[in-house]
Amino acid sequence: MFDATGLMGLLLMIVGVLLLAVALPLIGSFLLDGLIHIVRGQGLKVFGLAAVLSLATALLGVALLVGARQVTDDMVSLGMLENGLSGLLSVLVPAMVVLAAIQFVRRQVRARRQRSA
């Protein structure tokens, strides 16, 4: 099935997919916080930090996926893994986007309560 390089490719691909499917939507929700800060005139700090983190996460995830293809020579197993991960992504990405939206709303409600108190 997998030799040492194939296992390394498998791990790189799984970490890359998790970065793109889980971490990126959660970090991306802070972009919305940054836009709210800009609209309220509180500066670009949150937006800039979220933009940099989103870009770095996306680039790292893509680099890991490309690295996984470069490391392994067993394209049949890699193809089967990609098919399996695409099924996981079809469930994971929408769930994480909804969770990121819920986190954004929660942060906004908490900030509104702190301002009013």
The count of C-alpha atoms lying within 13 angstroms of the C-alpha of 106, restricted to the half-sphere facing its C-beta, is 8
Give the whole-angstrom CA distance, residue 13 versus residue 30.
25
pLDDT at res. 52: 93
Cα–Cα distance list, 74 to 38, 55, 60, 64, 84 (Å): 49, 30, 23, 17, 16
Give the whole-angstrom CA distance, residue 117 versus residue 83.
51
Write out pLDDT tens, residues 13-55: 888 888 888 888 988 888 888 898 899 888 888 889 989 999 9
Q: Which amino acid is at 23?
A: A
Pick the more confident residue, 97 or 82. 97
pTM, to two decimals: 0.78
Write out pLDDT tens, residues 45-81: 888 998 999 999 999 999 988 888 888 777 777 778 8
